[in-house]
A and B are shown apart, each in its own frame.
Chain A
Amino acid sequence: MVKVTLWGSLRSATGGLTEVEVEAKNTGEMLKALAKKYPALDPIIEGGVSVAIDGLIYKEAWFTPIKPDSEVVLLPYMKGG
């Protein structure tokens, strides 16, 4: 199981939780599992998110491995100038 921290405003999609647990070995699995467990997250994930694993931000990368003790944070999709 990996523990995923969600950004605050996603609370409404998870019944008030900002930390959730899903079974996943990489980011792609994690996102799929999240969308399945919390269907309200599906359109948000579909619309584009970033994932921070152990402090590094990944914008789109399904196969980035997640270790069980990794710090995983779901973040909105970001863009610079």
Chain B
Amino acid sequence: MVTEYKEGSVGAEFNKREFKVVGTRPPRPDGVDKVTGRALFGADFTAPGMLHATVLRSPHAHARIVSIDTSGALAMDGVKAVVTSEDFVKQTSSGNQDTLDNCMARGKVFYDGHAIVAVAATSVKIANAALKLIKVEYEILPHETDVDAAMLDSAPVLHEGRKFRNIPEGNNANVSGYWEFGHGDMDEGFAKADIVIERSFKTAATHQGYIEPHATLATMGPDGRGEIWVCTQGQFMVRDLAAAFVGIEASQLRVTASEIGGGFGGKTTVYLEPVALALAKKSGRPVKMVMTREEVFRASGPTTSSSTDVKIGMTKDGRITAGQAKLRYQGGAFPNITAMLGAMTAFASYDLEAVQTQAWNVLTNRPKQAAYRAPGAPMAIYTVESVVDELCQKLGLDPLEVRLLNAAKKGTLSSYGPTFDEIGLVATLEAAKAHPHYAAPLGPNQGRGVSCGFWFNFAGNTSVSMNINEDGTVAVIEGNPDIGGSRASISMMAAEELGIPLEKVRTIVADTNAIGFNDVTDGSRVTFAVGLATIKAARAAIQNMCGRAAQIWGIDADAVDWVDGAAVPTGHNAGDFPPMSLAKIAADSAKTGGPIAGHFEVNADGAGVSFGVHLVDVEVDPETGFTEIKRYTVFQDAGKAIHPDYVEGQMQGGAVQGIGWALNEEYIYGEDGKLQNAGFLDYRIPVASDLPMIDAVILEIPNPGHPYGVRGVGETGIVPPLAAVANGVSHAAGVRMTELPMSPPRILAAIDGAK
């Protein structure tokens, strides 16, 4: 019998089974479109009569807007509409108002690149020329871009008079969030230690660095109905925000997600979409907006930069007795929760009797941060894993042994509150220890780095529909943009559950009017949550098909089972009938009651946390501080790898983003508060020749919360590289590195300073 989904059932989803489709490596369904140039991305859409809009952005890091005069632009031939913050609806939620104020500055500009006015014209050239005719009078204010400096009483205040919840006394007005986690007696814990190391670390802000700039096309007729085509991680999020900002109802706005050229969290919010919609409303014409690369860097969200103090005590045999971290993050000019996530994840890999983390979010004159792959965790875990490494080094202990000795496992009270269920950290550490990489010899100027990593993984609101076509094929309709191959894994789970060949299934990502609500593609949730809903939708369809077979056979529906893609009687008592295939049931569906479909809607839970361990060998040139990655191996618990190729891909891609963060990527601001490296030339993401092959070892410790045992895999991979590379470099260079990126000038200065 098909297992019914029971509301509120906890941890009871997973059933061990043999898979036919899941775990294989078929070609992805959208692959041919993407190798032939047919796939349509954000900037590839056009509409008849389309206008092009561009944005006037602040040249100042912090200024009051005294006045805006757009008359010159409006008078220009070819200019069809101009919008400012006055063209948008005031929001009741502070979070939404912040997002809107980031899309279009209201009263004040908070950072270099902050949008002020948008102009729609018959060409980009005319729109840009019109921007030059707009007169903005600024009252320039002092600015601050550094997190520690912004916490000082002398720092300029960004949001005068705004009160933030739960901020302890003694913090200045730029502190917009404060959080504390942990358990146990810290004094007692540190007293038990044979050695205590306390260090301070800094990490620079990095950008998600998706290769596709933000792009959107919006239309809106005089009837007040709009459409948006956009590269986004969530069409429903775009619909809800853009409709609210422009003041129309959700039902009147249909949003279609294009193929998306990378997101990594950076496309989980809006920048251009409400602006394009407002311009379309005003002009009555379709409006296209595409960011330049410079705009992407200056005005779309990088992640936070951080400044952290860590203190860890250890006994001489390697037991951690206490861990403490104070994390100060800045994520630009508006509140965010990234520091909180840092504080929750910092010590998550460890089973600790005494642990305490405190986190502050501080407002600065930088762009509003956006989520970036396991937001908050990489920089927090970097600091903890660096100190653990140094403790091992000082005590002459093996870093993997020490991690095994202290590893969180089932029953461990986590550093952020709940007790862990089945988790894969020990298995992952053991796999790393047993791997040939860990025993391989190192050459001169080389060092080996190790780090653990953790991410929660999330689930959330999900809707899936499944139509059984009369020819025996299946259409799966889901609502989450496919960033890294999710249509493949969703199709595979549908085929698995239905018991039919994969080629019979086609999965599409539907627009906001064609499927129920879905949270954005974030939190490593899609293969887990959409997969779960797909399996449940398949089960609903199967139930329907079993009912049809029962009616045809004249037996009870309860007496029909679904085996290998066909209805069969549950046993001889039920009757003696040959299996009735999905194709047969589908072909007769008109005669047996009409079309067959299944659907499932849920706010899913039970995503299942995931751990990873990374090993890296680096070589540091002692004369230049240049770091070469010689060898890299990723070990990660995937719960169950639906399509192993794309699980490996997530692990490899996350590792390389983390390597970039560790070595060269950073937002560089001048004294004037302006971003100095708003391009791929000087914002240096890793290139092919910087890297070796990235070996990926998948572990499968089933997640009890998913029918197939799936855990999210997208984010964890970016967490360990920062510390793994930093530990490797510290060993190779013979000096402990405490600031990211470890760019060559920084490494060389450290080497020379240590002499």
Does A touch B (CB under 8 Å) in the complex? Answer: yes
Secondary structure of the B side of the interface? loop
Q: Are A80 and B419 within 8 A (Cβ)?
A: no
Confirm or deny: A21 has a beta carbon within 8 angstroms of a beta carbon on chain B. no
Question: Distance (Å) between the CB of A2 and the closest chain B CB?
Answer: 14
Q: Are B8 and A80 within 8 A (Cβ)?
A: no
Q: Kindly list chain A residues whose C-beta atoms are within 8 Å of the C-beta of B712.
A: 80
CA distance A79 to B301 in the complex (A): 15
Query: With A12-B166, A75-B416 in contact, is A56–B421 under 8 Å at CB?
Result: yes
Of all chain B residues, the one with the shortest Cβ separation from A8 is B180
Confirm or deny: B523 has a beta carbon within 8 angstroms of a beta carbon on chain A. yes
Confirm or deny: B625 has a beta carbon within 8 angstroms of a beta carbon on chain A. no
Q: Are A81 and B523 within 8 A (Cβ)?
A: yes
Count A-B contacts at CB 8 Å: 124
Query: With A56-B11, A59-B603, A80-B374 in contact, is A12–B168 under 8 Å at CB?
Result: yes
Question: Distance (Å) between the CB of B155 and the closest chain A CB?
Answer: 22
Question: Distance (Å) between the CB of A40 and the closest chain B CB?
Answer: 9
Question: Distance (Å) between the CB of A27 and the closest chain B CB?
Answer: 9
Q: Are A7 and B458 within 8 A (Cβ)?
A: no
CA distance A71 to B420 in the complex (A): 11
Within 8 A of A (CB), among B368-382: 370-375
Question: Distance (Å) between the CB of B149 and the closest chain A CB?
Answer: 24
CA distance A80 to B340 in the complex (A): 12
Confirm or deny: B332 has a beta carbon within 8 angstroms of a beta carbon on chain A. no
Contact of B373 among A10, A76, A81 (CB under 8 A): A81
CA distance A59 to B523 in the complex (A): 12
Question: Distance (Å) between the CB of A69 and the closest chain B CB?
Answer: 12
Within 8 A of B (CB), among A23-80: 26, 43-44, 47, 52-61, 63-65, 71, 73-80
Confirm or deny: B182 has a beta carbon within 8 angstroms of a beta carbon on chain A. yes
Question: Distance (Å) between the CB of A60 and the closest chain B CB?
Answer: 6
Contact of A5 among B417, B421, B522 (CB under 8 A): B417
Confirm or deny: B250 has a beta carbon within 8 angstroms of a beta carbon on chain A. no
Confirm or deny: B178 has a beta carbon within 8 angstroms of a beta carbon on chain A. yes
Q: Are A47 and B165 within 8 A (Cβ)?
A: yes
Q: Kindly list chain B residues whose C-beta atoms are within 8 Å of the C-beta of A60.
A: 603
Q: Are B417 and A73 within 8 A (Cβ)?
A: yes
Q: Which of A5, A78, A79 is the most central at the interface, judged by chain B CB atoms within 10 Å of its CB?
A: A79
Question: Distance (Å) between the CB of B655 and the closest chain A CB?
Answer: 16
Question: Distance (Å) between the CB of B606 and the closest chain A CB?
Answer: 5
Confirm or deny: B524 has a beta carbon within 8 angstroms of a beta carbon on chain A. yes
Q: Kindly list chain A residues whose C-beta atoms are within 8 Å of the C-beta of B322.
A: none
Task: Name the 6 nearest CB pairs between A and B, nearest first.
Answer: A81-B265, A80-B523, A8-B180, A81-B371, A52-B418, A73-B417
23 A-B interface contacts by CB (under 8 A) = A7-B179, A7-B181, A7-B417, A9-B168, A13-B166, A52-B417, A54-B11, A55-B418, A56-B421, A56-B605, A63-B8, A65-B8, A75-B344, A76-B179, A76-B337, A76-B340, A78-B523, A79-B458, A80-B375, A80-B525, A81-B265, A81-B373, A81-B374
A-binding residues in B (CB < 8 A): 7-8, 10-11, 165-166, 168, 178-182, 208, 264-266, 268, 337, 340-341, 344, 356, 358, 370-375, 416-421, 455-460, 522-525, 603, 605-607, 705, 712, 715
